[in-house]
Amino acid sequence: MKYKDYSIEIWNRINTTLDQVLKEDSSPVAAFDADGTLWDIDFGETFFRYQINNKLVDLPPQAWNLYESIKAENPQKAYLWLAQICKGQKLEQVHEWARQAVKEQAPLPIFLEQKKLIELFLSRGVRVFVITASVKWAVEPGAEIIGLNKDNVIGIETVVENGLITETQKGVITYREGKVDALLKFTSGKKPFFASGNTMGDFQLLQSSTHLSLAVSAASRDDKLFKTEFELQQHAHNNSWLHHRFIG
């Protein structure tokens, strides 16, 4: 699919603000959500499907339906569970599975304007972080494709002991306000000058930005994400944030 480019106005505002910020801070922070913000796919749920289809981990019957029911009641619990099901696996093995899961989705529906924006930020010394409510290991291959590395990704994960994944939660659940908490821990309290997301799950992250917030959307009207993306677009309009729709 061909996605719409950012307007000249958006690019001008980003470049002007970046110039101003760099006069006071040589290494500012930029934060992006992952799924639906950097690419038009959910890598976390795609990886879960890959695990189910290839019978890679022990799962209860109707695992996908169970996940959906947990998410409907408690999203944080559901997102953590997707990491916990990897209990007992070698982290190296899960990394390889994640890479294979991403390869199966080629060609990836990456938002090239976001990739260009990240390249601009990196070229000018901005520290870029991807903060996702998906399992960190599932998102890392996507981040690498757009020029980042594992250390740039902050997401759901569990403690790894002797190379093996456990079911013990590591850090905060990176959902809603948890995204901001996790980011500030990585930056020693420095807020991002720029933040971008696509749903209300990213609202607090966009609120935390000191200079620019960019709400994006690409869900069609019959997509389950349309309502929450539309709501964030409305907040962007009301708060004079940048906002962009990748599809007509």
Domain boundaries, the chain: 8-245
Domain 8-245: give its CATH superfamily. Answer: HAD superfamily/HAD-like (3.40.50.1000)
CA distance 232 to 234: 5
Going residue by residue through the chain (248 aa), what tens digit of pLDDT does each one get? 789 999 999 999 999 999 999 999 999 999 999 999 999 999 999 999 999 999 999 999 999 999 999 999 999 999 999 999 999 999 999 999 999 999 999 999 999 999 999 999 999 999 999 999 999 999 999 999 999 999 999 999 999 999 999 999 999 999 999 999 999 999 999 999 999 999 999 999 999 999 999 999 999 999 999 999 999 999 999 999 999 999 98
